Structure 1
Amino acid sequence: MTHFMLKEIHEQPDVIRELLDRSISIAFEKVDHINILACGTSLHAGLIGQFLFEQVAKIPTQVRSSSESRFAPLLETSNTLTISITQSGETADTIAALKTVQSKQIAITNGIDSTITKLVDQTIYTNAGEEKSVAATKTFTAQLVILYQLAFELAQKQLTELRLIPQQIEAILRNNTIAEIAKTLENTRDLIVIGSGINTAIALEGALKLKEATYTHAEGYAAGEFLHGPIALLDSQIPTIAIGNVGKTLDRIRANQTPVIEIPTPAIPELFSPFLTVIPLQLLAYELAILRKIDVDRPRNITKSLTT
């Protein structure tokens, strides 16, 4: 494949399979509160983690951007578990935030023997292999696998539903029609991405991928919240990408003669759908970048690991 980003998108089924064949566990007996620290794509993984820890494991969970936690540290209890998520393990904001934490600490990272691994009580590696493209793809879904595993372990529930995910991703990749959709957006400079429930985080992640890879002004929103003000942005020149079942919001958007691109919820329980709804958005970011002749693996102004 010509570009690392496309290669890494296609590597995701195998990365997920290998993670599912590995057992992980939390090294702490009691957890009654969880804090999550992360930046960028890892922060969006953290938002899905929050959904899982609260809705599956029934544990109150807070998520904060690592850079903002310096100004407003997350509250800790005697049984708080702090989870830091960082692809490289060298993210300066996350390292700085973690140094102020007093509670038990787990790092989820792809960076073997990275700085963050020396600061925490337990490290869980994503084992995704080197990710050369600046825009994270396979490390994101690898982080999700670990967060699902941790949430189901804390809930003392069996997690078997992810076993079918790799082949379902492969089916999406085989039947890929995203290039045709990208052609309709080649000259579009503003996009709205909406999702609901657990896919709200995927709306945010999809918008970030479009910003990073295609230089498109894309904004992600929770579908219901979009009606409370941001809907005023819509006109015939600003398409909306709708992820899954966004209910009446989609009717309101169409009433404004706004172009809509739908990414349907896969035929699996919605709780597990983020693995499949994110793939078309990753592909869209890639295809649109190629159409615009952007260096998709090395977009301007950003680096793989923000260490300063």
Structure 2
Amino acid sequence: MCGICGVVGHKPATPIIFEALRRLEYRGYDSAGIAVLNDSGDLERRRAAGKLDNLGAVLGEAPLTGITGIGHTRWATHGAPTTNNAHPHTTDRVAVVHNGIIENFAELKAELIEVGHRFASDTDTETIVHLVDHYLQQGLLPKEAAFKTISRLEGAYALALIFKDHDGLLIGAKHGAPLGVGYGEGETFLGSDSLALAPLASRISYLEDGDWCVLTPEGATLYNAQGEEITRTVHNVAFMAGQVGKDGYRHYMEKELHEHPVAIGQTLQRITDPAAKKIALPALPFDAASVPRLTISACGSAFYAGMVGRYWLESLARLPVDIDVASELRYRDLPLADDGVALFISQSGETADTLGVLRRLKEAGQKIVSVLNVEHSTMGRESDLVLGMVAGPEISVASTKAFTAQLSVLAALSIEFARSRGTIDSQREESLTSSLLDLPSRAAEALTRGDAIRDLARIVAEARDVLYLGRGICTPIAHEGALKLKEISYIHAEAYPAGELKHGPISLIDRTVPVVAIAPSGILFDKTASNLQEAKARGARILAFTDSKGAKQLEGIAEHIVVMPDVDPFVIPILYAIPVQMLAYEVALLKGTDVDQPRNLAKSVTVE
């Protein structure tokens, strides 16, 4: 959940670390801090609660000089988001930054207090620094003290350590949280992900669980949990620095909303043959025609993408599909089919619960397919097949373009399964693929509906509660709209299948509760319109997303209608995701909330 970085080299460390933290701020922004080894060999640190700009102000008043350093952006788990709990945590001899949760910290802390250590924070992380310090006091060298400490930690962690009087030395370790090593010319880096590292070093190796590493300006030596020297693949990582700027937009979310057409187009370019109007996925590591059952799991918006994928796979390919959120599936005793396939969806590829389910189902003999935006992530490395989307870095906490890119991949995968299983013919494959290839231009057209969406936003912004309704394959898009509204505007919103309205939710409806309907004309429209009429009769203000045909039929029922481009029903979920996300953004603007970094949330949830 937090972001960490470190550097050993020949240039001033603080500006390098601060800029890396800026790229990592999406991972945590409750507090931030930097520690360096100064010219005298002593440890110095600066910390600040709140956003990274607060740390910038502290550094402006009291600069840090040194060429070896570590930095951290925090999303609070143990201890309130205060300066005192901010990382790095230090003693006179060692400083540490940490992402994750140390499950046995209470036991270790009690042991350390017994031998005279005094703690200054409420965090589990401070236990690490005191344990390393304890072993240093016993005469162990930094590398030995770090290894002995790491071997005693239980839980999930990625951490970085620097030591008094050891300039040019940085030690890192990983277990259950992402950590990579970046290689430069006369400098070496640690970072939570490639977004932090790629501008600094084009070559990156990713640690695996149990790995730890010793970094010097000349390079890195990697070890496994037994202390044996190992090697890990070094990847060349392409990066475009402009992708992490706002490019004149007010917020990253606004920029990323406008990148939907590009994200969809780039993703489809990789997985289709436009000339032949065919799907062109990588070779599947199983026989799609004989797969008995597919299990899908994900978290948040990615789970709603999986719900859409289930509709496609069941209706097109006639493939039985189970789906559950990863935090639940991880602890269910799920009967699994022999020769079954498990499909996981994640923007970061580091989501802790999703990764936990992946490992469990892989151990149970399922073939693993992952839909990822970061292909070299932990999930990517542990999958049998990665279907990569090309959404580019997504900085705003609320996922936007990654969601439509995920849907684009799932649509292509559904067509591939259907073709392999003989449930569609070549003509139908070409028709479905054509509808996908037409999506970037239709997505660009959807982005022009801003004025109509702002009309809806003015009504929603005044509400305390909002209902989102959908039918069939549009129901997950209703869930996505409700989630986005909750995430960034802090308005309570719930999504329901429209047919469930009479089974309870209709009792909530009065003039103060807007009803947002995802109601294209081709998907059970008459039934949805009937449900909306029932809500209107009880005073609801109906706000609808539909097409030109549906708009005519909803006149007199809906107070405001956003008319969407006419498209094949197959791609409606992808297209209609865009305006519901735009609605949440416009409401958040009216509410004055922090759009890119909403309270209590972080981008990559790497702890349970």
- Choose from 598, 601, 604 the match for 1:299: 598
**Cα distance in 1 for residues equivalent to 2:463 and 2:439:** 32
What is the CA-CA distance between 1:108 and the residue it aligns to? 0.8
What is the CA-CA distance between 1:32 and the residue it aligns to? 2.1
What is the CA-CA distance between 1:118 and the residue it aligns to? 2.1
User: Would the aligned equivalents of 2:285 and 2:367 in 1 still touch at CA under 8 Å?
Assistant: no
- The residue number in structure 2 matching 1:33 is 293
**Cα distance in 2 for residues equivalent to 1:290 and 1:74:** 43
| Higher deviation after alignment, 17-26 or 118-127 | 17-26
Which aligned pairs between 1:87-102 and structure 2 lie closer than 5 A? 87-101=347-361, 102=364
User: Would the aligned equivalents of 1:198 and 1:271 in 2 still touch at CA under 8 Å?
Assistant: no
- The residue number in structure 1 matching 2:262 is 14
1:189-240 CA distance string (max 9 Å, x none): 1100000010000001100000001101000000001221111111111110
Which aligned pairs between 1:196-275 and structure 2 lie closer than 5 A? 196-244=471-519, 245=525, 246-265=528-547, 266=564, 267-275=566-574
Gaps of 5+ in 1: none
Gaps of 5+ in 2: 1-248, 272-280, 520-524, 548-563
- The residue number in structure 1 matching 2:94 is none
User: Would the aligned equivalents of 1:84 and 1:107 in 2 still touch at CA under 8 Å?
Assistant: yes
SS at match of 1:17: helix
**Cα distance in 2 for residues equivalent to 1:119 and 1:73:** 22
- The residue number in structure 1 matching 2:201 is none
What is the CA-CA distance between 1:5 and the residue it aligns to? 0.4
User: Would the aligned equivalents of 2:297 and 2:344 in 1 still touch at CA under 8 Å?
Assistant: yes
What is the CA-CA distance between 1:119 and the residue it aligns to? 1.8
What is the CA-CA distance between 1:75 and the residue it aligns to? 2.6
1:35-77 CA distance string (max 9 Å, x none): 0010000000000010011001100001011000122143311
| Higher deviation after alignment, 60-69 or 159-168 | 159-168
User: Would the aligned equivalents of 1:169 and 1:276 in 2 still touch at CA under 8 Å?
Assistant: yes
User: Would the aligned equivalents of 2:515 and 2:541 in 1 still touch at CA under 8 Å?
Assistant: yes
| Higher deviation after alignment, 128-137 or 23-32 | 23-32
**Cα distance in 2 for residues equivalent to 1:70 and 1:166:** 36
Amino acid paired to 1:15: A
| Higher deviation after alignment, 285-294 or 66-75 | 66-75
SS at match of 2:310: helix
SS at match of 2:380: helix
**Cα distance in 2 for residues equivalent to 1:81 and 1:279:** 30
**Cα distance in 2 for residues equivalent to 1:118 and 1:22:** 20
Which aligned pairs between 1:80-91 and structure 2 lie closer than 5 A? 80-91=340-351
**Cα distance in 2 for residues equivalent to 1:37 and 1:185:** 31
What is the CA-CA distance between 1:173 and the residue it aligns to? 1.1
**Cα distance in 1 for residues equivalent to 2:335 and 2:390:** 31
Higher helix fraction: Structure 1 or Structure 2? 1
**Cα distance in 2 for residues equivalent to 1:141 and 1:17:** 10
User: Would the aligned equivalents of 1:62 and 1:74 in 2 still touch at CA under 8 Å?
Assistant: no
What is the CA-CA distance between 1:84 and the residue it aligns to? 0.7
**Cα distance in 2 for residues equivalent to 1:37 and 1:294:** 31
What is the CA-CA distance between 1:180 and the residue it aligns to? 2.5
User: Would the aligned equivalents of 2:460 and 2:466 in 1 still touch at CA under 8 Å?
Assistant: no
- Choose from 156, 172, 179 the match for 2:446: 172
| Higher deviation after alignment, 242-251 or 199-208 | 242-251
- The residue number in structure 1 matching 2:587 is 288
**Cα distance in 1 for residues equivalent to 2:603 and 2:488:** 13
- Choose from 387, 397, 418 the match for 1:155: 418
Return the TM-score normalized by structure 1: 0.97
User: Would the aligned equivalents of 2:470 and 2:518 in 1 still touch at CA under 8 Å?
Assistant: yes
SS at match of 2:450: coil
User: Would the aligned equivalents of 2:459 and 2:514 in 1 still touch at CA under 8 Å?
Assistant: no
1:68-112 CA distance string (max 9 Å, x none): 012214331122110011111010001111111020110111123
- Choose from 85, 97, 104 the match for 2:367: 104
- The residue number in structure 2 matching 1:137 is 400
Higher relative contact order (CA 8 A, sep 6+): 1
RMSD, aligned α-carbons: 1.3
**Is 1:2 paired with 2:260?**
no
**Cα distance in 2 for residues equivalent to 1:258 and 1:286:** 22
SS at match of 1:273: helix
SS at match of 1:227: helix
**Cα distance in 2 for residues equivalent to 1:271 and 1:62:** 21
User: Would the aligned equivalents of 1:35 and 1:74 in 2 still touch at CA under 8 Å?
Assistant: no
**Cα distance in 2 for residues equivalent to 1:49 and 1:74:** 20
What is the CA-CA distance between 1:291 and the residue it aligns to? 1.0
**Cα distance in 2 for residues equivalent to 1:70 and 1:20:** 31
User: Would the aligned equivalents of 1:64 and 1:74 in 2 still touch at CA under 8 Å?
Assistant: no
Return the TM-score normalized by structure 2: 0.50
Amino acid paired to 1:203: A
SS at match of 1:175: helix
